[in-house]
Structures are given as structure tokens and as C-alpha cells.
């Protein structure tokens, strides 16, 4: 292998994820990751500060994308609609990466330290979105509440996307999650035990979303 190592960063990330998944995050060493990727430890450390960063380096890009879409929404766009534009872009960035996302999530769920890091990442994203909405002239506490709502939709929609039996359209799942959030916040969502099932706004939206276009 020459000094030019094509896509070293991506190869290291894939090798790391595979080893974390097979052997466990704690049991895997940087030397093993480098070897698995056919690269040297030195190359690893040119791309990542440590083995944890491999799992979280994408989070910064994701946050930048989300924030940029919200910032660039047309003037006068309601905060929640600006967030929907951001969520659509995020869904686009995940397209074709469901297997990767599932494996990464399983690795994180299995390790308390990684779960904490994930919480911090999500909190940082929420704070960045709130800041962006304030920059668009949205007053507090509306900006923070809208950002928190957007993050709740992202978390729930993302979880449904990776948990589903088959690969579904993440953008659609995110919109369904938003419809559900609208419904529960407005006072819907309760079915008394044994009572006949009534259609909520979210169910109507889901039925519409799954109709052939």
C-alpha cells in the first residue's frame, strides 16, 4: 500500500464499527481497527483522536446540515416548518445507510459511556437549532421549544426507521412522528382500555402518507 490511502477515513470507520459490533466496543483496540482496515495506527490517528471519535465524527456533519437547512428556510417560514426542511435533509443524508445506522446504534446502546456521549451530541444539536431559530427572529422560549420538538421528532422517527423490519422512507417516518407529536401535544393520544379505537390526527396523516401517490 502506497502513502496515498484511498478513503482511509471511511475504511477505518467501517472496520471500527464491524469490530465494535462483533467483539464489543471496550474490547477493541485501535491497533486491531487499523489492521482490519489494512492501514497503520499512525493513519488511524491522522483521522481520529481516539476510538470513540470514530462513532461520533459524523454527528458534527449532521448537525451542520440540519442547522444550515433551518437557517436557509425562506423568510417567514414557521419555526416548525423550517425544522421539517432540516429533517428532510437529515433523512436524505441517511439514505442507503440504514445497516450502518442500525449497527452503530446497537454498539451505542450496549455501552453506558457511549450513550452519555450520544445524549450530549443530541443536546448540542438541540441548542444549535434553537440558536439558529433565534437568528431567524424567533423569540424565546419558542425557539428552544421548537428545537426540542424537532429533536423529539428526529429521535422517534430515527428509532422507528432503524427498528422497522424493512427499509422505510425516513422522511415519511419523521413526518409521521411530527403528526403524532402535534396530536399528543394538542391533547390526543389516549385510548381508554377497551374503548373503540378512534382515529387521531396522526393516524389520519399516516393513512394519507401511506396511500399510493
- Residues of this chain that interact with a second copy (CB under 8 A) are 75-81, 116, 119-120, 123, 136-139, 141-142, 144-146, 148-149, 151-153, 155-156, 159-160, 177, 180-193, 202
Q: How far is the CB of 186 from a second copy (least distance, A)?
A: 6
Residue closer to a second copy (CB basis): 17 or 138 = 138
Residue closer to a second copy (CB basis): 192 or 212 = 192
Q: How far is the CB of 10 from a second copy (least distance, A)?
A: 29
62 to each of 8, 113, 167, how far by Cα in Å? 20, 21, 20
Residue closer to a second copy (CB basis): 57 or 203 = 203
Q: How far is the CB of 164 from a second copy (least distance, A)?
A: 12
Grid cell of 140 as nine digits: 424565546
Within 13 Å and on the Cβ side, how many CA atoms surround 128?
21
Grid cell of 61 as nine digits: 456533519
Q: How far is the CB of 32 from a second copy (least distance, A)?
A: 28
Handedness of CA 11, 16, 19, 22 (dihedral sign): negative
Residue closer to a second copy (CB basis): 99 or 184 = 184
**Residue 52: which of 21, 36, 34, 30 has the closest Cα?**
30
Taking the mean position of all CA atoms in its chain, how far away is CA 189? Answer: 25
Amino acid at each position: 500500500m502506497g502513502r496515498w490511502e484511498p478513503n482511509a477515513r471511511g475504511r477505518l470507520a467501517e472496520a471500527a464499527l464491524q469490530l465494535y459490533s462483533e467483539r464489543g466496543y471496550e474490547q477493541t483496540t485501535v491497533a486491531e481497527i487499523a489492521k482490519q482496515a489494512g492501514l497503520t495506527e499512525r493513519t488511524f490517528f491522522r483521522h481520529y483522536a481516539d476510538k470513540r471519535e470514530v462513532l461520533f465524527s459524523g454527528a458534527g456533519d449532521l448537525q451542520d446540515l440540519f442547522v444550515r437547512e433551518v437557517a436557509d428556510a425562506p423568510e417567514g417560514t414557521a419555526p416548525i416548518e423550517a425544522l421539517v426542511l432540516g429533517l428532510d435533509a437529515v433523512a436524505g443524508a441517511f439514505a442507503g445507510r440504514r445497516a450502518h445506522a442500525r449497527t452503530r446504534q446497537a454498539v451505542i446502546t450496549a455501552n453506558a459511556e457511549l450513550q452519555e456521549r450520544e445524549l450530549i451530541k443530541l443536546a448540542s444539536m438541540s441548542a444549535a437549532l434553537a440558536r439558529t431559530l433565534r437568528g431567524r427572529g424567533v423569540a424565546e422560549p419558542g425557539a428552544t421549544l421548537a428545537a426540542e420538538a424537532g429533536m423529539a421528532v428526529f429521535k422517534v422517527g430515527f428509532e422507528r426507521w432503524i427498528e422497522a423490519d424493512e427499509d422505510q422512507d425516513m422522511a415519511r417516518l419523521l413526518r409521521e412522528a411530527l403528526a403524532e407529536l402535534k396530536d399528543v401535544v394538542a391533547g390526543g393520544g389516549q385510548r381508554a382500555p377497551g374503548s373503540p379505537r378512534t382515529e387521531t390526527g396522526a393516524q389520519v396523516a399516516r393513512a394519507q402518507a401511506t396511500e399510493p401517490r
